[in-house]
Structure 1
Amino acid sequence: MFRRGLNICKNNNGFEIESHYDRILHSCTSLAFLSQIHSILTTTGIIKHSVHLNARVIIKYSDFLHLQSARFVFNATDHESSSFLWNTMLRAYANSGFCSEALEFYSLMRKTGIRPNNYTFPFALKSCADNLLPTYGKLLHSEIIRTGFGSDIYVEAALIDMYAGCDFIQDGRKVFDKMSYRDLVCWTSMITAYEQSEQAETALHLLHQMQQESFCLDWVTAVTVASAIGQLGDARRAQSVHGYAIRHAFFQDLPVVNSILSMYAKCGEVEKAEIIFHQTKQRNTITWNSMLTCYSQNGQASEALALFEQMKISDVNPNQVTALIVVSSCSYLGSQQLATKIHDFIIQNKIETNLTLWNAIMDMYAKCADLDTALRMFQEVPLSHLDVTSWNTLISGYGMHGYGKEALKLFNNMITHGFQPNHVTFTSILSACSHSGLIEEGRNCFSEMEKLCVKKEPKHFACMVDMLGRGGFLDEAYELIKNMSSEPNDEVWGALLLACKIYGNATLGKVAADNLFHLEPQHTGYYVLMSNIYATSRNWQEVGKLRQDMKNKGLRKPAGVSLIEFDNKLHGFHTGEEFNSFTREIYEKVERMVVEIKMVGYVPDLSCVFHDVEEEDKHGMLSYHGEKLALAFGLMNVSDTGLAIRITKNLRVCSDCHLAFKLVSRVYGRKIIVRDVNRFHHFEDGFCSCNDYW
């Protein structure tokens, strides 16, 4: 059909064939065909007589990002008096992302004497926003006022977008408030500006004002509103906008479907997101990524990776965003084999790996207990191409594995090479010092923050309290909290409560717990910790009160799950797994394992079990903790003694299992790597890398 149209045009020299060429240009899908058409238009001389065809060819070249050819067409035309062609070329630069070239072209346009109009300014303003040039944008704003276009609705909407893109929201709001008339586009631009600057409540308040002025949402506004509600995590309002989208048939537009799906994900409504995903037959990459993100953000990493397997056999290609989500999910699970597979997939499918993705893959390997690969990836990047996140990732990796001295060395190298540490850097290095018991070094790093002009945030105080508390400096930790310039948050008090658990300080523990119960009344873990402190001091009356409080509030201790990978599958174990044909052998292995480690000094730590349980039952409950079941499974199936047994737990490993794992590593001559919610534990020959400091 294309060639037929081309032949018609060739055979009609001198006739009115502009419409034929226009249709052909519109349907052109390759640069080679476009060049052929351009050649015919030039040799026949037709293009000289049609401003419209010149503009069409310019835009078509820009669609293929061939801006040099587009500029060649512009230069070959009689454009000196045609603002239409100048605007077309400016549009080509702006919409193709050539922001600097667009602004240079605008300057040339002004020097040539071409007067800008209401089509010119929006493209110039867009380039300012995309290139984050608020100063240039304000100069354009002044010129807009001087040339009399300050009250043009299209220009005003572009000004709002420019100020929003440059993070000058208040300047954009001033333009908005001065408008004599606002259409739906202007309202949507201002609402979107607030949403993108994470001022969701203000965005929704403005939406309410818009509706009071009798404007109805279109699908573009609905996308913005869904994103704002997602930021707030407001499930009630999420249902409302979902219903509105259905009633107004917006679900025919895939961007609306994707935004509603993403909104439910951020509200923690996984089941509702699943329903929308499965009801959507025509899915694009964003749809898949939205559902993957939903699982990943809501702690369902296994479901995310299972969905990724489905995506791979669909007709949609994973992209860089997909890779980031999947890498994050693998980091959560801590599977080394899976990490290698995902990295191989990224390479084999030639997914562009920018520094953000590279850093994420480094982090994945570190969290999957493969520090050697993480370090190798760090060293493969030229020093000049690294960023602060690259350094932070490796410092954090060393810290979580208990290699505090190596983390400090890396921190010093970072400063030596001219990289400015940020608040994340200090969180990582203080955490590393805490996990390794490097108290004096941690104090020095904390003091160093002021010299390097890094503001101390609650997260840093939490790390310091954790470090001092684990080291037995409970009074100093409490004094640090009392002297904070801002209100201590739950992380700070939580660190103190954990330290009180370690040292059995019920008095100070109660102070921390009372603050935590006020700040996070629904957080079960704090009740359990305080209950354990009372149990250690045999204060059963207070234990009973706390358990009753939990019951009254409907709080339940979160279920612990321990994961171990074998034969390319992740196997999960919970405490007290149901006895069946699969678990029978595992239970028997646990019993033999306990007998053997008792012969080298294992004594069960019964403080890990509630007091109102029979003594015999306490021993049984400890033996069948999820991590012990996972370990028994590993000993049964990972026959190569040179391979480490790797286990991931979603909660803190208990003191009884920690002791048992040390002794198992000695008796069986196996290396065991456990990642709990706080850190990594490397068990070998009867010792743990944490030096019992966790």
Structure 2
Amino acid sequence: MFRRWFSICNKNTISEIDTHYDKIIQSCNTLPLLTQIHSVLTTTGIIKQSVHLSARVIIKYADHLHLNEARSVFNETDHESSSFLWNTMLRGYANNGYCTEALWFYSLMRESGIKPNNYTFPFVLKSCAVDLVITFGKMVHSEVIRTGFGSDIYVDAALVDMYSGCGVIDDARKVFDKMSKRDVVCWTSMITAYEQDERGETALWLLGRMQDEGFALDWVTIVTVASAVGQLGDARKGRAVHAFALRNRLLLEVPVVNSILAMYGKCGEVEYAETVFVHAKVKQRITWNSMLTCYTQNGLASEALNLFEQMKVFDVMPNEVTVLVLVSACAYIGSRHHATRIHDYIIENNIEINLTLWNAIMDMYAKCSDLDTAVKMSKQVPLDQLDVSSYNTLISGYGMHGYGKQALRLYNEMKNENIHPNHITFISILSACSHAGLINEGKKCFLEMKDFLVTPDSKHYACMVDMLGRAGQLDEAYDLIKNMSSKPNDDVWGALLLACKMYGNTNLAKVAANNLFCLEPQHSGYYVLMSNVYADSRNWYEVGKLRENMKNKGLKKPAALSLIEFNNELHGFHTGEQLDSVTRDVYKKMEQMIIDLKKAGYVPDLSCVFHDVEDEDKEAMVYYHGEKLALAFGLINIDKSLPIRITKNLRVCSDCHSAFKLVSCVYERKIIVRDVNRFHHFEDGLCSCNDYW
């Protein structure tokens, strides 16, 4: 082979040699063969004479990610006056992610006196966008203008990408508006910039302008548009995007399917997402992940876990994203069995557990009533490797379980380790102080926010209002709301309304409720809570008005559901369920439990049921609350050496709270209840919340 190559070099002209070797290099698909060709070209001296062949070899080395060899070819060739060869080397660096090297090489090019052209600038600007070096990018922009390439469509498109990639969207828009000619790529780049900056409304407005100018939407544009609609949570526009994709056969593109699944998930349109998923011609791993995320985002954790089982049947290998979603699903339903299964699956399949996934697993165990395992996992990571998310997870976990002092200890520890608290840290620590009644400590943490340049938002204020309200400091809580720099949202007013319910402050409750009815007119929970405030003050007229108002709006009180895990299955109980083969035994156990509790001094709290019911019926309704039925089920089926773990979708009522304390003493059982706000650990007649919830 080598003899034949040398023969060609001796007999043919440079043009013929170029053509011959050009074909050979283009067909070269392996690195060893490319190295042989390079050796021949170097030995014969052709590499020094032919800029064209040198460029071909540089491109091939770059394709194999051998940039040092590509650079040696560049050095061997006469490049003193050839911007073409410089651009080829720049392309190799930029397209393979060697952005720092690309920018350094561009500087060397300018020092060598080589003038850049419209092929040079896109590669340099692409590297600026990836490395986020806006200062260098602006300098390159100046050279674009100075060299007269400011009207080149590809250079302008690269400038738009560079500015938007560096987060300077307004400057990107200035370049875009000045462009004399735009193609669909330019429009899509600008729309994508707004979408990535979470300015969905502007992205969609620009899409309208693009269509007005007669540009057809391709699948890349649809992916961006679907993401923008998802940000806005606009289901109607989401269906329009889906319909457009169907009409134009764009759902044949896998990225379009994935983006529409994600869009429907964010819009809460699970059934539409399921339809897209079922009819997808090709389901890649990211497609499965998108559907799993859709379920989890919309509170359908069990469906997500079932879909994962299907995923395994189809031999689709999960990745870190898959298991991160599944860990979130387990945390949502609070199933320790599922949590352990997913954790074991991750280990058995050698899925890399980075710190993000590690933190998520710790959070999962904390939310599955197993704080001990979460804490043990944190101790397996060297102290200097824990990040702010690790501390946030543990602080939140301690707070949810009522261990406010331990949360404060961790908060102080992270500061000592020079890990700066962020806005999530302060939400977690303020919530922990609220649940533990640590008012002074919570106030101190709130004041410390400014030391770490964290501006309080509505979530921080809601924690403070909750903290002050639980302590009975309602006037101070209301003053804090009135002095907020931003408009209070429903979380803030909801915290105040709950506090007013606790302390019977009807007048202030009216203020909170009126604001809530304006902010969230379809939220039935606020109507029920205000109705309870009126019922506690025996204002039956206002109770009736609120109920009538709810009826007219078609609102219903959310159904309470209590879950308990047994034999790797979740068993659900609603209040006052009909008897069947399972609940018949549960009712018998529950009735015996009430007898035992009354002997120990239990008196039912009848304030937990509606006023317009006879006392005898009220007692029966209280006895058959879902969490009590779940507890009776646990007493029958769960071994005495194990804790009984119950999850409720609403706040645990005061009567059940009192009853559970007595059960833990009378039956000598440990009971862990997770309600919508926190965990309650019942043991020896006491609760971890110290009756402060």
Compute the TM-score of the two structures, normalised by the length of structure 1: 0.93
Name the counterpart of 1:138: 138
The one-letter amino acid of 2:32's match is: Q
Q: Which moved more, 1:226-235 or 1:416-425?
A: 416-425
How many Å separate the matches in 2 of 1:242 and 1:52?
47
How many Å separate the matches in 1 of 2:403 and 2:552?
43
Name the counterpart of 2:650: 651
Name the counterpart of 1:38: 34
Name the counterpart of 2:367: 367
Name the counterpart of 1:670: 669
The one-letter amino acid of 2:493's match is: W
| Cα distance, 1:85 vs structure 2 | 3.7
Q: 2:79·2:85 contact (CA, 8 Å) conserved in 1?
A: yes
Q: 2:590·2:629 contact (CA, 8 Å) conserved in 1?
A: yes
Q: How does 1:372-387 map to 2 (within 5 A)?
A: 372-387=372-387
1:476-531 Cα deviation digits (max 9, x unpaired): 22222222232221111111111111122222211211111111111111111111
> How has the CA–CA distance of structure 1 residues 659 and 64 changed in structure 2, closer, same or farther, with 3 Å as cutoff?
farther
The one-letter amino acid of 1:684's match is: E
Q: Is 1:397 matched with 2:397?
A: yes
How many Å separate the matches in 1 of 2:562 and 2:5?
73
How many Å separate the matches in 2 of 1:64 and 1:659?
70
Name the counterpart of 2:189: 189
Name the counterpart of 1:682: 681
Alignment partner of 2:573: what SS? strand
The one-letter amino acid of 1:193's match is: A
How many Å separate the matches in 2 of 1:582 and 1:263?
41
| Cα distance, 1:20 vs structure 2 | 5.6
Q: 1:13·1:44 contact (CA, 8 Å) conserved in 2?
A: no
Q: 2:627·2:646 contact (CA, 8 Å) conserved in 1?
A: yes
Alignment partner of 2:582: what SS? helix
The one-letter amino acid of 1:309's match is: E
Name the counterpart of 2:526: 526
| Cα distance, 1:282 vs structure 2 | 1.0
Q: 1:391·1:414 contact (CA, 8 Å) conserved in 2?
A: yes
Q: 2:22·2:56 contact (CA, 8 Å) conserved in 1?
A: no
Name the counterpart of 2:624: 624
1:158-181 Cα deviation digits (max 9, x unpaired): 111111111101100110111111
How many Å separate the matches in 2 of 1:73 and 1:447?
62
Name the counterpart of 2:450: 450
| Cα distance, 1:341 vs structure 2 | 2.2
1:407-449 Cα deviation digits (max 9, x unpaired): 1111111112212222221111111111001111112222222
Name the counterpart of 2:158: 158
How many Å separate the matches in 1 of 2:616 and 2:8?
101
- The number of equivalent residue pairs is 681
| Cα distance, 1:687 vs structure 2 | 0.7
Q: 2:125·2:162 contact (CA, 8 Å) conserved in 1?
A: yes
How many Å separate the matches in 2 of 1:50 and 1:322?
51
How many Å separate the matches in 2 of 1:612 and 1:464?
36
The one-letter amino acid of 1:36's match is: P
How many Å separate the matches in 1 of 2:6 and 2:584?
85
Q: How does 1:587-602 map to 2 (within 5 A)?
A: 587-602=587-602
Q: Which moved more, 1:364-373 or 1:239-248?
A: 364-373
> How has the CA–CA distance of structure 1 residues 128 and 502 changed in structure 2, closer, same or farther, with 3 Å as cutoff?
same
Q: Which runs of 5+ in 1 are unaligned?
A: 1-5, 29-33
The one-letter amino acid of 1:673's match is: I
How many Å separate the matches in 1 of 2:63 and 2:568?
45
How many Å separate the matches in 2 of 1:217 and 1:52?
38
Alignment partner of 2:379: what SS? helix
| Cα distance, 1:456 vs structure 2 | 2.1
Q: Which runs of 5+ in 2 are unaligned?
A: 10-16
Q: Is 1:430 matched with 2:426?
A: no
1:383-417 Cα deviation digits (max 9, x unpaired): 44332222222111111111111111111111122
The one-letter amino acid of 2:325's match is: I
Alignment partner of 1:45: what SS? helix
Q: Which moved more, 1:41-50 or 1:495-504?
A: 41-50
The one-letter amino acid of 2:674's match is: R
| Cα distance, 1:91 vs structure 2 | 2.5
Q: Is 1:92 matched with 2:88?
A: no
1:433-468 Cα deviation digits (max 9, x unpaired): 110011111122222223443222222221111111
Q: 2:493·2:513 contact (CA, 8 Å) conserved in 1?
A: yes
Q: Which moved more, 1:111-120 or 1:274-283?
A: 111-120
Q: How does 1:230-309 map to 2 (within 5 A)?
A: 230-309=230-309
How many Å separate the matches in 2 of 1:174 and 1:360?
41
Name the counterpart of 1:536: 536
> How has the CA–CA distance of structure 1 residues 208 and 510 changed in structure 2, closer, same or farther, with 3 Å as cutoff?
same
How many Å separate the matches in 1 of 2:59 and 2:636?
66
Q: Which moved more, 1:480-489 or 1:135-144?
A: 480-489
> How has the CA–CA distance of structure 1 residues 119 and 352 changed in structure 2, closer, same or farther, with 3 Å as cutoff?
farther
> How has the CA–CA distance of structure 1 residues 165 and 671 changed in structure 2, closer, same or farther, with 3 Å as cutoff?
same
Q: Which moved more, 1:251-260 or 1:310-319?
A: 310-319
Name the counterpart of 2:351: 351
Alignment partner of 1:468: what SS? helix
Q: 2:22·2:53 contact (CA, 8 Å) conserved in 1?
A: no
Q: Which moved more, 1:76-85 or 1:342-351?
A: 76-85
How many Å separate the matches in 2 of 1:54 and 1:294?
51
The one-letter amino acid of 1:202's match is: T
| Cα distance, 1:589 vs structure 2 | 2.0
How many Å separate the matches in 2 of 1:649 and 1:350?
34
Q: How does 1:161-172 map to 2 (within 5 A)?
A: 161-172=161-172
Name the counterpart of 2:226: 226
Alignment partner of 1:204: what SS? helix
How many Å separate the matches in 2 of 1:24 and 1:349?
39
How many Å separate the matches in 1 of 2:657 and 2:618?
17
Q: Which moved more, 1:668-677 or 1:13-22?
A: 13-22
1:216-252 Cα deviation digits (max 9, x unpaired): 2111111111111111111111111111111111111
Q: Which moved more, 1:177-186 or 1:342-351?
A: 342-351
Q: Percent identity?
A: 69
Q: Which moved more, 1:297-306 or 1:373-382?
A: 373-382
> How has the CA–CA distance of structure 1 residues 403 and 181 changed in structure 2, closer, same or farther, with 3 Å as cutoff?
same
| Cα distance, 1:54 vs structure 2 | 5.1
How many Å separate the matches in 2 of 1:338 and 1:13?
69
How many Å separate the matches in 2 of 1:288 and 1:522?
33
| Cα distance, 1:682 vs structure 2 | 0.6
How many Å separate the matches in 2 of 1:628 and 1:75?
81
The one-letter amino acid of 1:532's match is: N
Q: 1:468·1:476 contact (CA, 8 Å) conserved in 2?
A: yes
Q: How does 1:556-567 map to 2 (within 5 A)?
A: 556-567=556-567
| Cα distance, 1:363 vs structure 2 | 1.6
> How has the CA–CA distance of structure 1 residues 19 and 493 changed in structure 2, closer, same or farther, with 3 Å as cutoff?
same
| Cα distance, 1:565 vs structure 2 | 2.1
Alignment partner of 2:610: what SS? coil
> How has the CA–CA distance of structure 1 residues 12 and 282 changed in structure 2, closer, same or farther, with 3 Å as cutoff?
farther
| Cα distance, 1:644 vs structure 2 | 1.3
How many Å separate the matches in 2 of 1:567 and 1:691?
32
> How has the CA–CA distance of structure 1 residues 606 and 167 changed in structure 2, closer, same or farther, with 3 Å as cutoff?
same
Alignment partner of 1:610: what SS? coil
> How has the CA–CA distance of structure 1 residues 563 and 89 changed in structure 2, closer, same or farther, with 3 Å as cutoff?
farther
| Cα distance, 1:98 vs structure 2 | 2.5
Alignment partner of 1:263: what SS? helix
Alignment partner of 1:673: what SS? strand
The one-letter amino acid of 1:610's match is: F
Q: 1:339·1:365 contact (CA, 8 Å) conserved in 2?
A: yes
Q: 2:497·2:513 contact (CA, 8 Å) conserved in 1?
A: yes
How many Å separate the matches in 2 of 1:150 and 1:203?
25
Q: How does 1:392-541 map to 2 (within 5 A)?
A: 392-541=392-541
